[in-house]
Structure 1
């Protein structure tokens, strides 16, 4: 398995992969509606210093994906500042590769990229109906900061503080 950043010429394959994964995991969502971040993939993930998208490749095909983008303050109940906070999104692993450490490897590569970029806080949300998702993120050091009471989604908000000041000083001294 090889993990590397997304490239502009891969965008059509990335969108196919992510939209198919999203449709299988979230059948209640409209599979024809492309989310804004994906519709503006180049701008959001490749053209911004607060965006990152990584792919796991195996035998010439995408087997996993993960990204981060600037946090947009859309959850008013959360006490997160937009400055130096990014939202971890689009972690998908092909069913044939689940349980093989792909998600952990993708996240480790994303974390390294975030530290290098001077990110202070990683934010994400997930849902209890996704098997193992909350436990996975807690093992990576994330803490639950809010759980919404909606009976369908029960959106679970999580964060991880990175202490970006120390990563910036490390980068500056390199």
Structure 2
């Protein structure tokens, strides 16, 4: 047991010997939002619905996990077509607790998804089309978005995250 304590102590000393950050000679340069606000985003997820300047952001679900999705209505989003896009959201003035929670956007950043070789649509476009096909007032989370090259389609797996936790699967043609 004493050996682990010594190893921990040596590791702590070595960690303290790391190099100190250097200052940039151009101290007047503007910092990016990530540098100004080092705090992590309040939510990262897919925009599942949009109403004027409000977007519903729902964190994706891991198909191998029993965790529940986080959902948030975010007001004050810049004008854009948001549905289907993956975003990070920083909020101002706190989060109002409800389900989905509610907050005002300080910053909304679109996460670029890599282009899928052979696909005409982007994953965000396929998700947007899938959400337009689904009728009814459902609170949904993304489980999987997959392009099937042999069939030239996108498979979208969603889960209803209200009291039913119903799985939905839809196919979107890649055009």
TM-score interval (norm. to shorter): under 0.3
Length-normalised TM-score, structure 2 = 0.26
Length-normalised TM-score, structure 1 = 0.26
Hey, which of these two has a bigger chunk of strand by percent? 2
Higher normalized contact order (CA 8 Å, seq sep 6+, divided by chain length): 1
Larger gyration radius, structure 1 or structure 2: 2
Hey, which of these two has a bigger chunk of helix by percent? 1
